[in-house]
Amino acid sequence: MNIKIVSVFLISILLLVCVVSLMIGAYPIELKAILQIIFRFNTQDIYPTDQTVLLQVRLPRLIMAAFIGSALAICGAVIQGLFRNPLADPGLIGISTGAMLFVIFTIVFGGFWLSKELQVYALPVSGFIGACLVTFLVYRLATTDNHTDITIMLLAGIAISALGGALTGIIIYMADDNQLRDITFWSMGSLANLGWGDVLFAGPILFICSVILYRFSTPLNLMLMGESVSKHSGVDVVKLKKQIIVLVAIMVSICVCLSGIIGFVGLVCPHIVRLLVGPDHRKVISLSAILGALMMAIADVVSRTLISPAELPIGIITALIGAPFFMWLLVEQKKRLR
C-alpha cells in the first residue's frame, strides 16, 4: 500500500481519537469548550473546571500517552530489525525486567531510608538505573572481542529476565498489603498522575532518541540480511549495535518508569506496519511511531472510561487489544506461507 495514503489515514484517526480522548471521561468536556480553551477565543465563556481538567490533567496525559506509544513502537521496530526476528521485543533483552526489579525494590524497601517526598522521584530514577544495568549486563555477556552475538544476547536476556523475576518474587513475598497494591498497579501500567513535568522531561528525550533511531533506517535494512552483508556494504556493525541498544535502553526505561510495563505496543505496531507498507525501516519506523501513538491513545481512553470514575491499568487494555490481534496476525501469516 502507498505510504502516503496509510500515513494520512493513520494521522486523521489519531487526531480524531485525540479530540474524543479530550472530550470524554469522568468529567465530560464539550468540543466547543476544548476549542475555546486551546485556541483562546471567547475566554470569558470558559468554565474554570473545564480549563483545569483539560490543561492540567487530560492534555499532558494524552501527550504522554502518544509519546510513550510512539517510543515503544519505534523501539519494537528497531529491536526486531536488529535481532532479525519479527517477534522480538525490548522486553526480550531484559530491559523491562531490570526496571521492574529496581522499582519494586524501591517500593518495598525505599520506605526505610527515603522520605515520602523523595520516594516519588526515586521510582523513575531507580527504574532507569535498573534498565541500564541489566542491558549493560546482557550486552557484556553477549560480547567477546568487540563482537556481539545476537543469539547469545537473546538467551542472556531470557536468563536475566528469569533471574530478575525470581528476585522480584522474593521482594514481593516480603512486601506488606499496601506495597503489594502499589506493585500490582505499577506493574500493570498506568498513565494516571502524569503531568506537564513529565512531558517536559521525557518528551524531548524520547523525541531526540526517535529521530536518531530513524536515521539508522538504511543500515538496519542491511542488517536484516545479516551482519557480514552489512559490514561488507560499509556499515560499522559493532558501533551500530552499541548505539541502538543504548538508545532503546534509554527510551524503554523512561517509558517503564513513567507508566509501568505496557506490553504488545512494541510487538504489534511494527508488525501491522510491515503488513501495510513492507519492511523498509524508513517506512516502518515513521509509521510505527504514528500507530503506536494511536494505539496508546485509544487504550488510554478505554482505560479511563470503561469503569469510570475508576480507572483500569492501561497495560491490561493494550494486552486485551494487542494479544488477540497478535494471535490473529500469526494465523494470517501461517495462511500466507501456505
The minimum distance between CB 280 and another protein, in angstroms, equals 6
Give 95 or 287: the residue with its C-beta nearer to another protein: 287
Q: Compute the distance between CA of residue 284 and CA of residue 224 in angstroms, rounded to an integer.
A: 13
The minimum distance between CB 243 and another protein, in angstroms, equals 15
Span of 110-118, 158-166, 277-285, 289-297 interacting with another protein by CB under 8 A: 277-285
Look up residue 313 and give its amino acid: P
Give 104 or 273: the residue with its C-beta nearer to another protein: 273
Helix axes 196-215, 281-305, angle to 10 degrees: 160
Tell me if 222 contacts another protein by CB under 8 A: yes
Look up residue 165 and give its amino acid: G
Give CA angle at 200 (183, 48), nearest 5°: 90
Q: To which H or E segment does residue 111 belong?
A: helix 95-113
Helix axes 3-23, 281-305, angle to 10 degrees: 20
Member of 11, 229, 306, 327 binding another protein (CB under 8 A): 229
Cα torsion at 222, 88, 1, 329 (round to 10°)? 150
Tell me if 242 contacts another protein by CB under 8 A: no
Give CA angle at 59 (120, 46), nearest 5°: 120
Give 4 or 40: the residue with its C-beta nearer to another protein: 4
Tell me if 218 contacts another protein by CB under 8 A: yes
User: Which three-class secondary structure state does DSSP give residue 213?
Assistant: helix
Tell me if 231 contacts another protein by CB under 8 A: yes
Tell me if 271 contacts another protein by CB under 8 A: no
Per-residue x/- track, 297-326, another protein (CB under 8 A) = ------------------------------
Q: Cell numbers of 37, please? A: 480553551
Span of 150-158, 215-223, 254-262, 318-326 interacting with another protein by CB under 8 A: 215-223
Q: Cell numbers of 227, please? A: 551482519
The minimum distance between CB 316 and another protein, in angstroms, equals 31
Give 165 or 226: the residue with its C-beta nearer to another protein: 226
The minimum distance between CB 149 and another protein, in angstroms, equals 14
Tell me if 2 contacts another protein by CB under 8 A: no
Tell me if 226 contacts another protein by CB under 8 A: yes
Residues 7, 287 contacting (CB under 8 angstroms): yes
Member of 27, 180, 280, 308 binding another protein (CB under 8 A): 280
Give 31 or 225: the residue with its C-beta nearer to another protein: 225
- 68: left (phi > 0), else alpha (psi -120 to 50), else beta? alpha
Span of 69-77, 185-193, 221-229, 290-298 interacting with another protein by CB under 8 A: 221-229
C-alpha distances in Å from residue 120, one per residue of 3, 114, 141, 188, 210: 42, 10, 33, 18, 27
Q: Which residues bind another protein (CB under 8 A)?
A: 84, 86, 218, 221-222, 224-226, 228-229, 231-236, 274, 278-280
